[in-house]
Amino acid sequence: MSTVMEKPDPTVTTSKRRLPGWARGALWAVVAIGVLSTASYLTDMPILTSSDTSQTALRLGLPILLAAIGGLWAERAGVMNIGLEGMMILGTWGSAWGAYYGGVWVGLAAGILFGLLGGLLHAVAVVTFNVNHIVSGVAINLLGLGVAQYLATLVFEPISGNPRESPPVAKFDTYSATFLSDWLGALEDEQRVVLSDVAGLLRGLVTHVSPLAMIALLLVPASYFILWRTRFGLRLRSCGESPVAAESLGVNVYLHKYIAVAASGGFAGMGGASLVLLEGGADYLENQVNGRGYIGLAAMIFGNYRPSGLLGGAALFGYADGLQLSGGGAAVLALCYGAVLLLAIIVVLQLIRRHWWAAAGGVAGAAVLYWIYWTNDELPSDLIPYTPHFVTIIVLAVAAQRLRVPKAIGQQYRRGEDT
């Protein structure tokens, strides 16, 4: 007896349909708000979802977001840029110098220019002379720090009397959506579960917002459009995937890498400028970048080299930094409880997918965090300022499991070579 085998219908696809990236991001945002609301209620810490916390998080997340955008441009072109820290440092000095002599917009332009010069120097080293990308990035960080110290001593010390800080400089004005802010403030004051939490978080995002914050947020969809929806972006990304194949198709690989790394430095310089020019921030201070370039790189990795993902990473790190400033050790401890709730959700998802080892790791992480929460009334004050750095380490450990890295990132390339 013969068996007739049916041919599969080519019009029917067997692959699972996945949510688009923006929908997944929105879904995780809803989950995060739900977790924060629950943690705020159970720990009696309304500071977790207050407007002050979200407003501070927005201000502190901007330099991280801009550094992450800079990293995205460079690394999508195949250039590893760990020199973002040094480019941000150059941007802080340049913006303070420009703002002191020419006003806030001149300061922003000067910060971008100084960061761009750092990016061009990195491009000359790694693109033209094929220097190891990590070695060049470390050199840029050291050079940026040294140049900023020298210029501060040369220019600022005669004015301020202190070689480590600038004289007072102009700051960006801030704007509020008055009617919306007042309405959300009234909802926040009612202290209703979930509703007041959402109102508090949203109110912080529409109150005392600077033009620089608006520009930075617009750069996320702009970067997506340029890199993923234009011919230029396709060519630039092809340089990060296979520069030899790109060259065979007529793409000027050197030019696209130079543009990408220069833009990367400009964005990083803008991030440094945001530390100086935003209301509530300090004027130029030595070491004020404080690792934010590296955290921006971590935000980009967390976002899997995608604009929407790095926005979520910058929001996470900015929130952690803003929370420790607004609420101190008790608030950070409450955040640990929120992380336990989030891990519980992730463990359930991993069990549904039959990812046993990932689920076991989530259970272990939740147990450690809950032990920290249960055995402490407040975290030591010496550890609180390093909250974003601890979050960075944890996020990198988790994000490394699902990365889609550009194939030719960090590779040396010479025009005309076959490999």
Assess if residue 202 is contained within a domain. no
Tell me: pLDDT of 393 over 50: yes
Using pLDDT thresholds of 50, 70 and 90, give the confidence band for residue 2.
very low
**pLDDT, tens digit (0-9, with 9 covering 90-100), for 285-341:** 988 998 999 999 999 998 889 998 899 889 988 998 888 888 888 888 898 899 899
Tell me: pLDDT of 388 over 90: no
Assess if residue 411 is contained within a domain. no
Domain count within the chain: 1
Q: What is the pLDDT of residue 399?
A: 62
**pLDDT, tens digit (0-9, with 9 covering 90-100), for 5-34:** 444 444 444 445 677 767 777 887 888 889
Which span out of 54-58, 67-71, 186-190, 390-394 was modeled with the highest average pLDDT? 67-71
Using pLDDT thresholds of 50, 70 and 90, give the confidence band for residue 418.
low
Question: How far apart (Å, rounded) are the C-alpha atoms in residues 246 and 132?
Answer: 21
Question: How far apart (Å, rounded) are the C-alpha atoms in residues 46 and 188?
Answer: 10
Assess if residue 274 is contained within a domain. yes
Tell me: pLDDT of 88 over 50: yes
Q: What is the pLDDT of residue 69?
A: 97
Q: Which is more confidently placed, 325 or 398?
A: 325
- For residues 217-240, average pLDDT: 96
Assess if residue 191 is contained within a domain. no
Q: What is the pLDDT of residue 12?
A: 46
Assess if residue 359 is contained within a domain. no
- For residues 276-293, average pLDDT: 89
Assess if residue 269 is contained within a domain. yes
Q: What is the CA radius of gyration of the chain?
A: 23
Assess if residue 226 is contained within a domain. yes
Assess if residue 196 is contained within a domain. no
The closest alpha carbon to 276, from 292, 268, 288, belongs to 288
> CATH number of the domain that 169 lies in?
1.10.3470
Distances (CA, A) of 116 to 22, 229, 265, 274: 30, 24, 4, 15
Tell me: pLDDT of 227 over 90: yes
> Of 37-41, 77-81, 271-275, which range is least confident?
37-41
Using pLDDT thresholds of 50, 70 and 90, give the confidence band for residue 209.
very high
**Over the chain, what is the mean pLDDT?**
89
Q: What is the pLDDT of residue 11?
A: 47
> Of 88-92, 134-138, 346-350, which range is least confident?
346-350
Question: How far apart (Å, rounded) are the C-alpha atoms in residues 410 and 212?
Answer: 31
Domain residues for the domain of 87 are 45-174+209-326
Give pTM, 2 decimals. Answer: 0.91
Question: How far apart (Å, rounded) are the C-alpha atoms in residues 341 and 38?
Answer: 9
Q: What is the pLDDT of residue 302?
A: 87
Cβ pair 79, 300 in contact under 8 A: no
